[in-house]
Amino acid sequence: QLEISDETIVSAAEGAQRFFLNAAPARALPADVVRAAELVVVNRYELDSLPETPSLLALTLGEEGAVLIEAGAEVARAPAPRVDAVDGTAAGDAFTACLVVSLLEGRDREEALRRACAAGAIAASRPGAQPSLPTAVEVDAMLSA
């Protein structure tokens, strides 16, 4: 996430076996960092701040859900579950964490994206940052409802 220094981000990109980037909040970023990322997560505004298009991009669309784009082509799309949004503070963090974990678990991209949208929706339906983050059980319950 871009709430830390460029030096820390560059170091993580260079030293990690697998590197995932949530390009929030939007700001200038070295192109090498984007190239190093296995996945880059952005919203519409953050997309415009990227120095180049990443090979795998998750574009969050708020209440419209999210799209996964690989090499410029849409490979998955998921709707956002309907919730009464009260605080969007941690919605992007919940989305990103759930998407990355789901992909690392070997889930297919559509399922991973659906789970991420559910996690973001749950977080947006609760006040606060850390207290709003859902568990995997809560994500599963929302998806099975």
Catalytic positions are 93
Distance between CA atoms of residues 95 and 19, nearest Å: 16
Task: List, in order, residues 6 or more apart from 64 with CB less than 8 Å away.
Answer: 79, 80
55 token code pair: 């090979």
Q: How far from the centroid of its chain's Cα atoms is residue 10's Cα?
A: 19
**Cα–Cα dist 95/58, whole Å:** 10
d(CA 58, CA 55) in angstroms, rounded, equals 10
| Pairing assessment for the beta strands 39-43 and 20-22 based on DSSP bridges | parallel
Question: What number of CA atoms fall less than 13 Å from residue 84's CA on the CB side?
Answer: 1
